[in-house]
């Protein structure tokens, strides 16, 4: 994906009526502690929404009692749809599954931990009615996060912007509202290594930010430790940019020139009759530097080849073990669910 749009495309906004149905997509991984609070907040919020509502809870292979709790909730409330994945596929794929199963006119992707206040959705819907296809929440402030999290998140968005796409909005997470049309476009992008924010930026359409204050996690702890953040950053960089390949090439060039310079120096010393044997240290240095440049370049290359291999296998992005309150199948090429399993 080498396209790097520098300027925002100008769209003519086409105002829309209030959505007939709003879908909320919530990926959940080991969030049993949050279910009661989530239920309370959602029920309170939706009493004030003048349209049909559906909530797609994706259980991303939780190892705690999340599934049990949300299945019980779904049994009491038909607006709750549960998509239970066969194992933990990670937040980006769980969100993709949720989007595939959503049927609303406006679809809101939100985390289970209630860090993103639900009231912001009203403002997002107002923007949707103005004609925007993507309304993303942009964090003005983050309360109660560790300094490390704040610093890494700050660096993450800036580096990503530099390396991937000029239009990747900073400080915007996955909390966003998508129009039906946009969701259909996004759903047709079936790449294995997904960085949803980058994909949304790539897809275009009229997009706008809504600033909001991010709250503390209501319960439980972050499921995005530093390791997962780094992994996401690596996927983001290598699936949206070929810059690391160029970096490897540049590095090889630098060390190649260094090697030539060292060789010239050795020759000069030889012809000037200087003692040359002690030069073995510089030789060692150059050899190891070149070796490291080569290994780095090859490993970056390997990373891309590995990604191609994964993509070529053409596996489904996720597998659904079971669903609750879901009648219609998701996308056509979405993984086949064993409906006998699904409905017992
Ligand atoms: N999540 C998920 N699968 C994972 C990790 C996280 O579905 O492998 C969900 C998690 O349950 C939450 C959302 O993704 O609803 C965001 O995670 P979290 O709040 O832990 O991330 P943070 O806000 O700390 O970046
Ligand atoms: Mg969170």
| Per-residue pLDDT tens digits for 164-214 | 666 777 777 889 999 999 999 999 988 888 888 888 888 888 999 998 888
Residue 290 has phi, psi (to 5 degrees) of: -65, -40
Q: Which of 91, 95, 98, 214 to mutate to test the pocket of ligand 1 (most atoms within 8 A of CB)?
A: 91
**CA 222–ligand 1 middle distance (angstroms):** 7
Ligand approaching nearest to the C-alpha of 24: 1
Q: Residue 277's pLDDT is what?
A: 63
Choose among 80, 40, 76: nearest CA to 57: 80
| Mean of pLDDT over the chain | 83
pLDDT band at 68 (very low <50, low <70, confident <90, very high): very high
- What is the rounded distance in angstroms from the CA atom of residue 66 to the CA atom of residue 34? 9
Work out the average pLDDT over 83-97: 94
**CA 129–ligand 1 middle distance (angstroms):** 29
Q: Residue 99's pLDDT is what?
A: 95
**Between 156 and 335, residue with greater pLDDT:** 156
DSSP assigned state of 337: P
Whole-number Cα distances in Å, 229 to 28, 109, 176, 223, 248: 17, 19, 19, 10, 23
**Does the pLDDT at position 104 exceed 80?**
yes
Nearest CA to ligand 1 atom 3: 91
- What is the rounded distance in angstroms from the CA atom of residue 15 to the CA atom of residue 326? 31
**Does the pLDDT at position 313 exceed 70?**
yes
**Does the pLDDT at position 126 exceed 60?**
yes
**CA 223–ligand 1 middle distance (angstroms):** 5
pTM of the model: 0.77
For the Cβ of 116 lying below 6 angstroms from any atom of ligand 1, the answer is no
**CA 225–ligand 2 middle distance (angstroms):** 11
Q: CA-based diameter of the chain, in Å?
A: 92
For the Cβ of 210 lying below 6 angstroms from any atom of ligand 1, the answer is no
For the Cβ of 32 lying below 6 angstroms from any atom of ligand 1, the answer is no
Q: Which atom of ligand 1 is nearest to the CA of 31?
A: 11
Q: How far is CA 269 from the centre of its chain?
A: 56
Question: Looking at 136-140, 168-172, 195-199, 338-342, which range is the least confident one?
Answer: 338-342
- What is the rounded distance in angstroms from the CA atom of residue 286 to the CA atom of residue 154? 36
**CA 61–ligand 2 middle distance (angstroms):** 17
For the Cβ of 94 lying below 6 angstroms from any atom of ligand 1, the answer is yes
For the Cβ of 224 lying below 6 angstroms from any atom of ligand 1, the answer is yes
- What is the rounded distance in angstroms from the CA atom of residue 266 to the CA atom of residue 264? 5
**Between 264 and 331, residue with greater pLDDT:** 264
For the Cβ of 139 lying below 6 angstroms from any atom of ligand 1, the answer is no
**Does the pLDDT at position 335 exceed 80?**
no
Q: Which of 88, 111, 235 to mutate to test the pocket of ligand 1 (most atoms within 8 A of CB)?
A: 111
Residue 9: strand, helix, or coil: coil
Ligand approaching nearest to the C-alpha of 228: 1
**CA 301–ligand 1 middle distance (angstroms):** 30
For the Cβ of 74 lying below 6 angstroms from any atom of ligand 1, the answer is no
Residue 25: strand, helix, or coil: strand
- What is the rounded distance in angstroms from the CA atom of residue 334 to the CA atom of residue 331? 5
């Amino acid at each position: 994906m080498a396209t790097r749009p520098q300027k925002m495309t100008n769209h003519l906004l086409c105002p829309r009526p209030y959505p007939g149905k709003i879908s909320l997509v919530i990926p959940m991984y080991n969030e049993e502690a949050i279910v009661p609070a989530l239920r309370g907040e959602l029920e309170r919020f939706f009493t004030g929404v003048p349209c049909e509502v559906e909530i797609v809870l994706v259980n991303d292979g939780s190892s705690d009692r999340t599934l049990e709790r949300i299945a019980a909730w779904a049994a009491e409330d038909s607006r709750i749809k549960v998509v239970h994945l066969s194992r933990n596929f990670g937040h980006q794929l769980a969100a993709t599954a949720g989007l595939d199963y959503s049927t609303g006119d406006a679809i809101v992707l939100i985390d289970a931990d209630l860090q993103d206040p639900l009231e912001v959705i009203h403002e997002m819907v107002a923007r949707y009615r103005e004609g925007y296809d993507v309304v993303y929440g942009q964090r003005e402030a983050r309360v109660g996060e560790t300094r490390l999290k704040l610093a890494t998140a700050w660096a993450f968005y800036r580096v990503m912007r530099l390396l991937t796409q000029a239009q990747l909005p900073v400080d915007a997470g996955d909390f966003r509202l998508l129009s039906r049309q946009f969701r259909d476009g996004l759903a047709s992008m079936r790449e294995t290594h997904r960085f949803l924010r980058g994909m949304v930026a790539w897809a275009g359409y009229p997009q706008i930010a809504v600033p909001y204050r991010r709250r503390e996690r209501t319960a439980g702890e972050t499921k995005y430790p530093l390791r997962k953040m780094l992994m996401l950053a690596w996927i983001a960089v290598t699936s949206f940019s070929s810059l690391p390949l160029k970096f490897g090439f540049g590095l090889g060039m630098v060390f190649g020139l260094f090697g030539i310079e060292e060789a010239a120096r050795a020759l000069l010393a030889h012809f000037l009759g200087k003692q040359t044997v002690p030069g073995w240290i510089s030789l060692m240095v150059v050899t190891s530097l070149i070796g490291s440049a080569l290994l780095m370049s090859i490993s970056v290359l390997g990373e891309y080849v590995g990604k191609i291999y994964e993509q070529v296998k053409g596996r489904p992005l996720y597998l659904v073990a079971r669903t609750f309150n879901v009648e219609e199948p998701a996308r056509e090429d979405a993984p086949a669910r064993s409906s006998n399993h699904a409905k017992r």
